[in-house]
Amino acid sequence: MASLVKFELKKILGRRVTQVSLAVLFVLSLLFMGLNVLQQAAVNPVGDPPMLSGTAAIAQQRVNAQQCAGPITDEAVAAVVGEFRTFLDEDGEVKAPYDDPDTPEGAQFRAWYHTRFQYLSLVLGPWMQGYEVPDVVAARVSTAEPLDVYGQAAAKLAATLADPNGRLTYTPVEQAFWLSRYDKVPKPVEYGYAGGWDDVLNCLGFLLFAMMAVVLACAPVFTAEYQQRTDAVVLATRCGKTKLPWAKVAAAVVFATVAYGLFALVIVGVPLAFFGADGAALPVQMRSLTSAWGLTMAQTAVVGVGLGYAALLALLAVTLLLSARLRSPMAIFAIGIAVLVAPLLVPSVQNNVVNHLLYLLPYFVLDGTTLLGPVSYAAGPLVLDYHVALLAVYAATVLICVPLAARTFAHHQVA
């Protein structure tokens, strides 16, 4: 069996389409991850030059986060909001003395604001409606009375869950499920620098390149035998109907695993190399205080890469089944690409069923925001959170499609 797997693996690697697609898509991944570093931007609080980019911007982001590091308590939020309000009028506009960056007061406000912008966006998030900026929100958040940051965050989460016009609608059981989850999130949330892990979550989508490469390489696994008319020969051999189909499947899985690992190494390695691995143990509430997931930043990155791999195996299983049934690798590739880019082609809809189906596709699995959102699948009293539901669907896809692919090839009627 091992020799058959090696032989089939050599066939996959020996195809020009595999070599070219893998090389091109891997180079594209390196290019985009490099551009991701070069295009980082941060305001220079000193003012000369006004904007920083690349590694200088990353260094400034680190300084900004470290300056605000510590537990996000009600008192800490009240203090920073109260200080912010001294620069603002009642409408949330910057007061005249601080509005001119060329004055000492303006330079003071510039330095204060831009070193705390990310922190303000996070701690004022529970009060934000839509895409409001911190200035507007701070103007209406009164510090005259004690703040309840996490109570406000829970209220915002509850409002999202109860909204009948959202992208998803939630049953009462689901609402209780997520609110209970949020109650169990450790508080107060610790704030600090986790730029590398945050960037990994932002760049998970580039793992779609790995999936494209796998679909291109594995689409001909069975169809090549039909096209080259070697099916009559290989199926007539001693192992043609028994071990050979499974050897082809095993070779495809080995190739997909190694290819995905190489791409994941780039997607994870480049951010950690340039941004640093600091903040691995910080909670995911660093990205949103309303998140109900009890994970650290590093754990979330591992979950994202792992779920991406599960999605890849499910996509590979479908590809192999199509390869065993169809005669054209290009048709299989077209279907695979359609699955990968479908969310980009489907307009945003407020349909609960459609969105629940779309969230099963790799595009959303590799989206850092969706990965940490309150996405769940319910059947009566049973509620599966997003990660568990994905694993269940992908496992079922593999268990159904892979045996069908092997059986279809083994029982193929030779022309």
Q: What is the pLDDT of residues 16-31, one digit of tens each?
A: 888 888 899 999 999 9
Q: Is the pLDDT of residue 6 over 80?
A: no
- Mean pLDDT (the chain) is 86
DSSP string, 236-264: TSTTTTTHHHHHHHHHHHHHHHHHHHHHH
Give 359's contacts (C-beta < 8 A, 6+ positions apart): 365, 370, 375, 386
pLDDT digits (tens, 9 = 90+) for 179-199: 999 999 999 999 999 999 999
pTM greater than the 0.85 cutoff? yes
Q: What pLDDT, on a 0 to 100 scale, did the predictor assign at position 219?
A: 86
pLDDT at 45: 79
**20-34, 42-56, 235-249, 372-386: the lowest-pLDDT one:** 235-249
| Cα dist from 17 to 10, 212, 330, 333, whole Å | 13, 12, 11, 12
> Is there a contact between 106 and 98 (Cβ–Cβ < 8 Å)?
yes
Partners of residue 41 on adjacent β-strands: 53
Span 309-315, mean pLDDT? 96
Residue 225: pLDDT band with limits 50, 70, 90: low
Q: Would the pLDDT of 271 be above 80?
A: yes
Cα 202 to its chain centre, rounded Å, is 6
Residue 228 reports pLDDT greater than 60: no
Neighbouring C-beta atoms of residue 347, cutoff 10 Å: 4
| Residue 29: its H or E element | helix 16-38
User: Looking at residues 150-157, what average pLDDT do you find?
Assistant: 93
pLDDT of residue 285: 94
236 pLDDT higher than 50: no
Spatial neighbors of 64 by CB under 8 A, at least 6 apart, are: 42, 114, 115, 116, 117, 118, 119
